[in-house]
Structures are given as structure tokens and as C-alpha cells.
């Protein structure tokens, strides 16, 4: 009988360019589908832009267009990601939002950017606006953020596998190796 693999959790913040690169790889590179958990995190005030741009190029992604202003104010987008998770669209919405921010250079704090990302995954704009205004959605985002810290997340992107948490640029490879054990 084959051992049951623990369900990995991918912790991410839409304002993080490193999370964007991880999000574009994670579904193909982990041996099991992770749970996507949006969390509020302080984005790096001065990310290594050249490294992020090289990473995007290596993945065959569109050239990075940096959102202005930097760092992005992503709370609205993160509330929408939390709402999207509730309705089974976390992955689709989050990838669309990442692409709006880092391939399109759009401001995640702009409600129109959030609604464009939502439309890309067939989320109705009125439902999204209602969802991001719900106290229960805000509470769920705050709980997820606190839960990530309690689980040992100290930096993003992060992937939790069982009792281990892998952070940063090599998190996917390390998590994949753990899952293969």
C-alpha cells in the first residue's frame, strides 16, 4: 500500500514578485496539488528586481513590468483571493492577479485591477465586490495570516509539508523532495 502524502500548503502574498515566480511553477513541480493560502505579509521594500526579471525570463514568462507605486497596496486583492478560495477559484484568481501585477504592471490596490483578474477566471464583479466587503472574508484572511506565522512561516513564498516549512527561492524543490520521501 502506498503511503499517504501530506497535503502541502502554499503560502503567498499577491504583492510579492517572488511568490509570483513560485506560483507560476508550483502546480507543475510538486508531485501533489497544494492548497493555496493567501496571507497578508509585508512585501520586500526593495526586491532584487534583476533577479526577479531573470527568473521570469528563465520560466518563459512575459517580461516583468513593475507595478507603480511600489510596494503595492494589495489588501483588496488579498481579500479577493480569500473570497476566491472560498468559492474554489483561489488558483485561477491568484494567477490572474499576479499576472496583472507583474506582467501588466497594474496596481493591485486598484479595484479595477482586482475585477479584471476576477473576470479572467469567471468571477462576477458584483459577487467579488460583495465578497471583499464581508467581515468574514477579512477575518479569514487575518486568521490565515496568523496561522501561517504559527505554522512557522517566516518569509514568502513558503510551502508547508507536514511539520516542515520551506521558504524562499528553493522552497518548491525542497518541498517536492520532502513529498517524495
Q: What is the 3-state secondary structure (H, E, C) of the chain?
A: CCCCCCCCEEEECCCCHHHHHHHHHHHHHCCCCCEEEECCCCCCCCCCHHHHHHHHHHCCCCCCCCCCCCCCCCHHHHHHHHHHHHCCCHHHHHHHHHHHHHCCCCCCCCHHHHHHHHHHCCCCHHHHHHHHCCHHHHHHHHHHHHHHHHHCCCCCCEEEECCEEEEHHHHHHHHHHHHHC
Rounded distance between C-alpha atoms, residue 35 and residue 115, angstroms = 23
The answer to whether 84 and 93 are in contact (CB under 8 A) is yes
Nearest-5° Cα angle at 19, 16 to 23: 140
User: In the prediction, which pLDDT does 4 show?
Assistant: 57
Contacts of 32 (CB under 8 A, 6+ apart): 5, 7, 8, 179
Cell numbers standing for residue 137:
472574508
pLDDT band at 46 (very low <50, low <70, confident <90, very high): confident
User: In the prediction, which pLDDT does 3 show?
Assistant: 56
Q: What is the pLDDT of residues 61-111, one digit of tens each?
A: 999 999 988 888 899 999 999 999 999 999 999 999 999 999 999 999 999
- pLDDT tops 80 at residue 44: no
- pLDDT tops 80 at residue 6: no
Burial class (CB in 10 A: 0-12, 13-18, 19+), 47: middle
- pLDDT tops 60 at residue 1: no
User: In the prediction, which pLDDT does 25 show?
Assistant: 97
Q: Rounded to two decimals, what is the model's pTM?
A: 0.94
Name the helix (H) or strand (E) containing 38: strand 35-38
- pLDDT tops 80 at residue 5: no
User: In the prediction, which pLDDT does 119 show?
Assistant: 97
Rounded distance between C-alpha atoms, residue 119 and residue 30, angstroms = 27
User: In the prediction, which pLDDT does 43 show?
Assistant: 75
Alpha-carbon torsion (32, 171, 60, 69), positive or negative: positive
User: In the prediction, which pLDDT does 136 show?
Assistant: 98
Q: What is the mean pLDDT of residues 3-26?
A: 91
Q: What is the mean pLDDT of residues 152-176?
A: 95
User: In the prediction, which pLDDT does 42 show?
Assistant: 84
- pLDDT tops 90 at residue 48: yes
Amino acid at each position: 500500500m502506498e503511503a499517504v502524502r501530506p497535503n502541502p500548503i502554499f503560502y503567498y502574498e499577491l504583492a510579492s514578485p517572488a511568490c509570483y515566480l513560485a506560483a507560476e511553477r508550483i502546480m507543475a513541480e510538486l508531485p501533489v496539488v497544494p492548497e493555496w493560502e493567501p496571507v497578508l505579509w509585508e512585501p520586500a521594500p526593495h526586491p532584487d528586481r534583476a533577479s526577479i526579471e531573470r527568473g521570469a525570463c528563465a520560466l518563459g514568462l512575459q517580461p516583468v513590468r513593475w507595478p507603480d507605486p511600489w510596494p503595492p497596496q494589495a489588501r483588496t486583492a488579498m481579500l479577493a483571493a480569500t473570497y476566491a478560495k472560498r468559492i474554489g477559484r483561489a488558483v485561477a484568481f491568484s494567477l490572474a492577479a499576479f499576472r496583472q501585477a507583474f506582467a501588466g504592471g497594474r496596481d493591485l490596490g486598484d479595484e479595477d485591477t482586482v475585477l479584471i483578474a476576477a473576470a479572467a477566471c469567471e468571477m462576477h464583479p458584483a459577487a467579488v465586490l460583495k465578497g471583499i466587503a464581508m467581515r468574514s472574508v477579512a477575518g479569514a484572511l487575518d486568521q490565515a495570516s496568523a496561522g501561517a506565522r504559527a505554522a512557522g512561516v517566516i518569509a514568502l513564498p513558503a510551502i508547508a509539508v507536514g511539520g516542515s516549512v520551506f521558504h524562499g527561492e528553493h522552497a518548491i524543490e525542497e518541498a517536492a523532495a520532502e513529498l517524495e520521501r
